[in-house]
Each structure stands twice: as structure tokens, then as C-alpha cells.
Amino acid sequence: MGNIMLRRLLVASAAVAAISAFTFVSQPVEAGSCTVLAEKAVGLKQSETSTRALKQLNRKANHWAKKNGYKSPRISKLSMTCTKKGAIYHCTATAKVCG
């Protein structure tokens, strides 16, 4: 009687293990998506303006990651351009962000 129950238990556990392994392997692997983000800032001093543009870009990247279900974004290929128009600096920060 004990051997029959043990055999049934082993067969049932092997079947459950095979089904769960097939389910785990058959699901596609999700690759992280990437996007290019840009943020602009305007100010009187170039250093403060570029810092503000970078902070806004980081905030935008974190918002994008949270919206798409990623825990922390990877920011790469960051570029900062600043131009002066009159007495005002216009800075633009652009970056490639991947989840």
C-alpha cells in the first residue's frame, strides 16, 4: 500500500515539474526598450542652466522608466548643447535611455 502511494506521488510530482518547466521555457524573453529623450532649460548663467536641463532629463527618464515598468533606467550617449541668445542661455540635454 505504501509503495503504491509513493509511486503515485512521484509520478504526480514529475508531471507537475515537466509542465512547469515547459511553461517557463516557452515564454519569450522581454528585451528592454530604448528611447531618446531631450529636455530644454533657459537661464542667465550657463552652469545653472545646464544643471537644470540635466536634472529635468533625469526626472523625465525616471518617469519614462516607471511608466513602462522598469525599476531604473540606463542613461547613455548623453549630450549637452548650450547657446547664448542675447543675455539668456538656452541649453538642451539629450540622452538615449534604456529600460
Residue range 52-71, pLDDT digits in tens:
999 999 999 999 999 998 88
Q: Is residue 45 part of a domain?
A: yes
Residue range 9-52, pLDDT digits in tens? 555 665 556 565 555 444 444 557 889 999 999 999 999 999 99
Q: Into how many domains does the chain fold?
A: 1
CB atoms < 10 A from the CB of 9, how many?
A: 10
Q: Residue 19: what pLDDT?
A: 60
Q: Residue 99: what pLDDT?
A: 82
In 1-99, at which residue ranges do the beta strands (DSSP E only) sit? 34-43, 74-85, 88-98
Q: Is residue 11 part of a domain?
A: no
Sheet with 74-85, strands from edge to edge, namely 34-43, 88-98, 74-85
Q: What is the pTM of this model?
A: 0.65
CA 48, 54, 58, 63 dihedral sign is: positive
Q: Is residue 17 part of a domain?
A: no
Q: 51 by DSSP, 3-state: which?
A: helix
Residue 98 has pLDDT above 80, yes or no: yes
- Return the CATH number at 45: 3.10.28
Domain that holds residue 87: 34-98
Residue range 69-91, pLDDT digits in tens? 888 888 888 999 999 999 999 99
Report d(CA 62, CA 56) in Å as an integer: 10
